[in-house]
Amino acid sequence: MSGVLRPRPPLHYPDRPAHHFLWAAAERSPERVALRYLDESYTFRDLDAWGTAFANGLRDVGVGVGDRVVLAMANRSEWLMAQHGVSQAGAASVLVNPSWKGAELAHAFDVTRPVAIVADGPLAEIIESTGHAGIDRCICVDEDRPAGWGSFWDLAAGSPGRRPPDLDVDLSRLESVLPFSSGTTGMPKAVRHTHRSLSAAIVQRVSAYNMTDADRLQFFMALCTIYGVMVALSAVAAGAPLRLFRRFNAEQVLQNIERERITIAFGAAPVAIALRDVPDLERYDLSSLRYMMWGATPVLPEVAEAVTRRSGIRWMQAYSTTEAGIASNPAGRPDLCRLDSPGIALSDVELRTVDPETGAARPDGQEGEIVVRSPSVMLGYLPAGENDGAFLADGWNRTGDLGWIDPAGWVHLTDRVKELIKVSGFQVAPAEIERVLSTHPGVLDCAVYGVP
C-alpha cells in the first residue's frame, strides 16, 4: 500500500430526516441486534418500533413540528428510543447532562423553552424539586416516578405503531438535537443541529471511521454529548450493533471486548490512563478490536504507547467540536495513523487558519484559529446572543482552537483561544465554577484555572 494519504472523497447526503437511518436499518435488517444494555437486547425493529410508538404518543399529547423536548437521563436503552421518537414527531431533543443540578437544568429550560421532558427517576426528582418552568408534559422512564409524571412505557405501549408522516419542512432549518457547549458567559449554550447537519455528520463519520455492519461497537461515555449522539446514530446508519454501558469500568469494558468480540471502542484520556493502570491488562484477548478512538481530549502519547505495547490496542485519534465534525485519522489505513495529529479533514470539510483577532486568513502552515466550513456545521446557538462572533463571512465556523495545518493536510492543535478546562471529556468554563464558589458565604473572591 502507498504511504501517501489522499484527501477523502466527496459524499452523498440524503435529503431525509435523521430518523430515516433507523427506519432504513429496521427495514434492511429487522432481526439483527442493534443495542445491548445490561441484560437487555433490542433488534433494529425493536428500537424503531418503540421509538415510533413513542412518537405517536408525543403527537397525541400535542408535541409536534418545531417543538423541543428535554432528554434528561443517564445512558440507557430508553434514551435511544426517546430520541428516535422525538425526531419522528418533528421535535428536537434537548440533551442535558445527567450530572447537572437544579440551576443548570433551569438554565437549559430557559434558553430552549421545551414543551415536554423525558427523564429517568433521579433526574425527574431533581427537576420536580427545583421546578420545571410550567412544563406539564413530564414523562419518566422508570416505574418509581414523581407524582403527576406520566410513564414512558405506558405512553409508548398505548400508541399505534404506524410511522408518522414524513416531515414536509425545510430540513436545513428544522432542529433535530440540541447538545450543550460552554458559553462565553460561563453558562452552557445550546448548539442547534438541524436534520440536515446531523444527517451529514452521520454520513461523514460512517465513512471516516470505516464503519460497516460487520463491526461491533462499545460505548460508555455520555450519550448526551455530541460524541455520544454521533457514535449511537453512526452505529445505526452502519447497521452495526452497539453495546452500551452506563459508565466506564475498566475490567467490565475489557471483559466485554473479549466476550463480544468488539471491533470498535471509544474513549478519551481518562480511559486510556485507566487501561494503562490495569495490572493484568496483558491477559485479555483484545485481538478483535480494530481500533479504539481517542476523542474529546488531547492524546497523551506516552499513555497511548504504553497501552498499545501491553495490549495491542491501536488508537485512532479524531477531532470535532459540538458544533461540527472536523478531522480524523484514517481508520482504514492503520499503518498511517498518528498520535501527533487528530488527522485530516473529513469528507467535504474545508479547514483553514485565521488571525483570532481579525479573522484574516493565515498562510498554510502558520498557526492561527482553526475555522471550518462543512455540511455538518451547526445552525447556531441558543441563547441567540452567543452567535456573536461564532461565524466569519461565508459560513466559516470559529472553533476557538489554535493550531496549524501542514502541507499534507494533517491538523495540529496547540491551544485554546479561550481558557476552557476539560474535565472527563466535558468543557468547563472557569467562570461557571467561579460563579458557584462565589455563592458561598465564606468566599470573598476567587479565580479558577486549569492544571494538568
3-state secondary structure of 431: helix
Closest CA to 277 of 253, 310, 252, 300: 310
Mean pLDDT, residues 72-92 taken together: 98
Closest CA to 159 of 255, 21, 51: 51
- Checking if the pLDDT of 134 tops 90, the result is no
426 - beta bridge partners? 423
- Checking if the pLDDT of 1 tops 70, the result is no
Which secondary-structure segment (H or E) carries 402? strand 397-405
pLDDT for res 429? 66
pLDDT per position as a tens digit, 302-313: 899 999 999 999
| Residue given cell 482553526 in the structure block | 370
Strands 68-72 and 92-95: parallel
pLDDT per position as a tens digit, 12-56: 999 999 999 999 999 999 999 999 999 999 999 999 999 999 999
Most confident residue range from 5-9, 377-381, 435-439:
377-381
73 CB-near residues (< 8 Å, 6+ apart): 79, 82, 98, 118, 119, 120, 123, 141
Give the model's confidence band at 433: pLDDT under 50 very low, under 70 low, under 90 confident, else very high.
Answer: confident
pLDDT for res 417? 80
| Percentage of residues in the chain having pLDDT higher than 90 | 83
pTM for this model (two decimals): 0.91
- Between CA 196 and CA 52 the distance in angstroms is 20
- Between CA 419 and CA 417 the distance in angstroms is 7
- Checking if the pLDDT of 364 tops 90, the result is no
Rounded to whole angstroms, the maximal C-alpha distance in the chain is 65
423 CB-near residues (< 8 Å, 6+ apart): none
139 CB-near residues (< 8 Å, 6+ apart): 116, 117, 118, 119, 149, 150, 151, 152, 155
Please, is 191 exposed, middle or buried when counting C-beta atoms within 10 Å of its C-beta (0-12, 13-18, 19+)? buried
Is residue 181 a contact partner of residue 95, using CB atoms and an 8 Å limit? no
pLDDT for res 289? 98
pLDDT for res 56? 98
- Between CA 52 and CA 151 the distance in angstroms is 16
- Checking if the pLDDT of 184 tops 70, the result is no
- Checking if the pLDDT of 185 tops 60, the result is no
Is residue 292 a contact partner of residue 313, using CB atoms and an 8 Å limit? yes
Please work out, in degrees rounded to the nearest 5, the angle formed at the alpha carbon of residue 108 by the alpha carbons of 107 and 114. Answer: 125
* Grid coordinates given for 170: 425545510
Interhelix angle 20-28/44-60, nearest 10 degrees: 140
- Checking if the pLDDT of 4 tops 80, the result is no
Interior/surface letters 208-232, b for 16+ CB within 10 angstroms, e for the rest: bbbbeeebbbbbbbbbbbbbbbbbb
